[in-house]
Amino acid sequence: MLIKNVVEKVDCDIVQNMFNQNKKVVCHIRRSHQQQTLSKKVVSYSGTRFNGALMMMDNFAELFFELPSALVNSNFMMNYNLIEKDLLDCVCKFLEPFEEVIVNLSEEQRPTLHKVIPLRQTLINSCVVEANDSNGIIQLKVFLGEKI
């Protein structure tokens, strides 16, 4: 029996690059103990924490204009400068319905199976490409729309 490993090509380069820059900056701030200069702690990405990417990006967006003070005399300022604030905000806003669906389907007090189809349709609808979407959001919507 032959087992074939297939790595799927994900065409979300713009958002993935932004995410990677966010992650580098956050890791540096935590490692260099510079977060005490910020109004709140940075949230690092954890691959084992469900929805960890959104948590990190939301936190990063909140602290966006404070972060340069924690990056003084650092090569990581270049990573920070590569991050488009508008794209970051758009990605976080786009992912909000996904977070809401996760919360809705995670309720422990009552069964949630009856919610699955309408919530899935909500996510499908949010993946419809609009004329004013940036290239990064279009890539993300197309990718997630195909997966839902």
What does the DSSP assignment read for the chain? ------PPP---HHHHHHHHHHHHHHHHHHHTT-GGGSSSPPPPP-TTSTTHHHHHHHHHHHHTTTHHHHSTT-THHHHHHT--HHHHHHHHHHHHHHHHHHHHHT-SSS--GGGHHHHHHHHHHHTS--TT--HHHHHHHHHHHHH-
The domain spans of the chain are 13-147
pLDDT for 17-71, tens place per residue?
A: 999 999 999 999 999 988 898 999 999 998 887 788 999 999 999 999 999 999 9
Mean pLDDT of the chain: 89
pTM confidence score: 0.85
